[in-house]
A and B are shown apart, each in its own frame.
Chain A
């Protein structure tokens, strides 16, 4: 800066040369100048007056000072106006675009700057507003998505944002949420349907009558139904989720393979584990008997196992169903036993009928042989040889007669003398006889029930049953042993086939056991058949057990036989118990009392068998009676009509053509109530069906009839007091 105060005329390069001096102070460069090149010097060239020069310089200095003042003021104005600019820039830099400044400065450049900054602030404001709108819009959408994610499917995004992207994003979110809502609704519906189906499946499995469990592909239990809980006692809660063959523990007590495990490993070795095994497609069927199931009882199981697949055919598990068929098996065994019993009973019935029929006819023949034998014996007393021959014939005939009686006993066609008795007494009374029967090398144990056992039986026949059984037991122990006789009462689980059940359902049992040879099943099925024997020829008739069978069944009882080869045999004869042992009305006492006496009365004899008729006629006439003969039922009725006034008694065969004995008697009684009569028959069953009517005055003689027995019986009947007034 130049100042006149600073212009000093000091000696220098320009001393003595005014031009140079001026040039030096005027030259802004303040550098020594080349006068030839200095314009000032050239301008002032030639000025040599100092005063003039001084004045001129003063003028120059004044002008310079004035200019310096103007410049200073302008500098102050600029600084003032520029401070607003600076403040605004500061605000903008801090991110506050709200500030504005005036553009009324005298300084053009400041105004221009103000305008530019205001424009910049406005632009910033617009950008910030836009970015903030985007941020707020994002916040809104974030909130909407958050609500949707939280399950508020009714949440909707705002779509009216001025920011196009945010608005579009809102629409996109809403569209997706609608789609999601629809999908969720479908999923919920499907889920409900699945739940319903699953529940139904669970219910079906739960209430299946068969014990059932299901395992997944890892062999963990996923279903364990109620029937299985009841069968095993293992609760569903305890079993569900368990793996490692846990399902076998309730059945076998240990972890082991169950049928369900063999589905994928079906091999020959599986049959070792089951009594029966079968494979049908993917399914396995098996039968298993477990000896010590739960409370150590045996149980028969019918088991089925099948794999389970998903819709794509992938294996997802397996199901096993277990059915307790113990009762079924028992019923099957009982049914088989009953069928066997029925077949046996039918066979025995047929044999009995055959034996009875043969015995009946044989009795008629024996009646003639014995009758004429006795007559011939009386007539041949003079001829000793003939008399001996006839005696032998009669002895042989008597043996044949006993044989037919045994056959009739077997065929249950013998007359029974039923008496209410204590079974224990009946057996103990023959104890000594039994001891003598068995010999020294066999021990006899008799264990009778303490309480009396009341049965309605023919005592003699029941004692014969015991003796026959003991005899058989003895013969089964050639090396000696022990025979045990016991009595007790029991109620069989199942009534025997073809037998009327005991009234009380309970039976008296006579048990005869030995520890002898025993017998096989085939033999035990035949032991009651007549003439079946395992003894040596000549050592047994083969009728001992047949008689036992006949007697017991005639008493409405039945027999059980248990035998094992080498371990002995037990025979249990069952007889119905009676509730009132003193009821003697049920007793049938048909004993014959020999009474040898002849007479002169007229007797009507009705007998279809010629031989029998002739021998009876001869015996009766030989004793002094007058005999009218009839060959059948009708003939008997007609003969009675014609000779009713002189006939004192009728002797009737029970089985006759046209009318049987009881029918004939019925008609005769219509003509003459209380007519005296005597039935003859080899078969008591022939008259049993009419027993109710005949019981009051029944007289009967079994064939073959001995002459003395016939005469005694006839005399006895004729001498009976007649209670009916109409009787002559």
Chain B
């Protein structure tokens, strides 16, 4: 099991989820992806992505000013 960190700050949605989609083929079941974003719709997009792609959203850490860190388990 591995952990991958993806910094998507500065990218406007839906760019962060597209980056998550690109990196996902390299993830094995059980791997953890930590994504950081600051787009106002970042959290909402990631939640929808997790729901639709059958991934588990582990946590959302709001660091203020739209900046959030979200952990996803594949």
A residues near B (Cβ < 8 Å) are 94-96, 98, 128, 131-132, 134-136, 138-140, 142-143, 146, 150, 158
The answer, among A128, A135, A150, A158, for a CB contact under 8 Å with B17, is: A135
List 21 A–B pairs whose Cβ atoms lie within 8 Å, in order of A's numbering: A94-B66, A95-B13, A95-B40, A95-B41, A98-B40, A128-B41, A132-B44, A132-B45, A134-B14, A135-B17, A135-B18, A135-B45, A139-B17, A139-B52, A139-B53, A140-B52, A143-B24, A143-B53, A146-B24, A146-B25, A150-B25
Q: Which residues of B, 21-41, contact A by the 8 Å Cβ criterion?
A: 21-22, 24-25, 39-41
Cβ of B5: which chain A residues have Cβ within 8 Å of it? Answer: none
The answer, among A95, A131, A132, A158, for a CB contact under 8 Å with B48, is: A132
The answer to whether B21 touches A143, judged by C-beta atoms less than 8 angstroms apart, is yes
The answer to whether A158 touches B41, judged by C-beta atoms less than 8 angstroms apart, is no
The distance from the CB of B49 to the nearest CB of chain A, in whole angstroms, is 6
Cβ of A140: which chain B residues have Cβ within 8 Å of it? Answer: 52-53
The answer, among A96, A131, A142, for a CB contact under 8 Å with B40, is: A96
Cβ of B17: which chain A residues have Cβ within 8 Å of it? Answer: 132, 135-136, 139
Q: Which residue of A lies closest to B19 (CB)?
A: A139
The distance from the CB of A279 to the nearest CB of chain B, in whole angstroms, is 60
Cβ of A136: which chain B residues have Cβ within 8 Å of it? Answer: 14, 17, 45, 48-49, 52
Known pairs A131-B14, A132-B13, A136-B14; list 10 more (Cβ under 8 Å).
A94-B40, A95-B41, A96-B66, A128-B41, A132-B41, A132-B44, A136-B48, A139-B53, A142-B21, A143-B21
Q: Which residue of A lies closest to B45 (CB)?
A: A132
The distance from the CB of A314 to the nearest CB of chain B, in whole angstroms, is 40
Cα A96 to Cα B39 in complex, Å, equals 8
Cα A114 to Cα B21 in complex, Å, equals 38
The secondary-structure label for the interface of chain B is: helix
Q: Which of A132, A139, A150, A158 has the most CB of B within 10 A?
A: A139
Cβ of B49: which chain A residues have Cβ within 8 Å of it? Answer: 136, 139
Cβ of A132: which chain B residues have Cβ within 8 Å of it? Answer: 13-14, 17, 41, 44-45, 48
Cβ of A142: which chain B residues have Cβ within 8 Å of it? Answer: 21-22
The answer, among A96, A139, A150, for a CB contact under 8 Å with B18, is: A139
Cα A98 to Cα B40 in complex, Å, equals 9
Cα A312 to Cα B52 in complex, Å, equals 51
Q: Which residue of A lies closest to B15 (CB)?
A: A135
Cβ of B22: which chain A residues have Cβ within 8 Å of it? Answer: 142
The distance from the CB of B70 to the nearest CB of chain A, in whole angstroms, is 15
Cα A94 to Cα B39 in complex, Å, equals 8
Q: Which residue of B lies closest to A158 (CB)?
A: B52
Q: Does B6 contact A (CB under 8 A)?
A: no
The answer, among B24, B39, B53, for a CB contact under 8 Å with A95, is: B39
Cα A589 to Cα B17 in complex, Å, equals 123
The distance from the CB of B42 to the nearest CB of chain A, in whole angstroms, is 10
Cβ of A158: which chain B residues have Cβ within 8 Å of it? Answer: 52
Q: Which residue of A lies closest to B51 (CB)?
A: A136
The answer to whether A95 touches B18, judged by C-beta atoms less than 8 angstroms apart, is no
Cβ of A98: which chain B residues have Cβ within 8 Å of it? Answer: 40
The answer to whether B20 touches A139, judged by C-beta atoms less than 8 angstroms apart, is yes
The answer to whether A138 touches B41, judged by C-beta atoms less than 8 angstroms apart, is no
Q: Which of B22, B39, B44, B53 has the most CB of A within 10 A?
A: B53
The distance from the CB of A188 to the nearest CB of chain B, in whole angstroms, is 24
Q: Which residue of B lies closest to A161 (CB)?
A: B52
The answer to whether B21 touches A138, judged by C-beta atoms less than 8 angstroms apart, is yes
Cα A22 to Cα B49 in complex, Å, equals 77
Q: Which residue of B lies closest to A133 (CB)?
A: B48
Cβ of B66: which chain A residues have Cβ within 8 Å of it? Answer: 94, 96
The distance from the CB of B68 to the nearest CB of chain A, in whole angstroms, is 13
Q: Which residue of B lies closest to A125 (CB)?
A: B41
Cα A98 to Cα B44 in complex, Å, equals 12
The answer to whether B18 touches A138, judged by C-beta atoms less than 8 angstroms apart, is yes
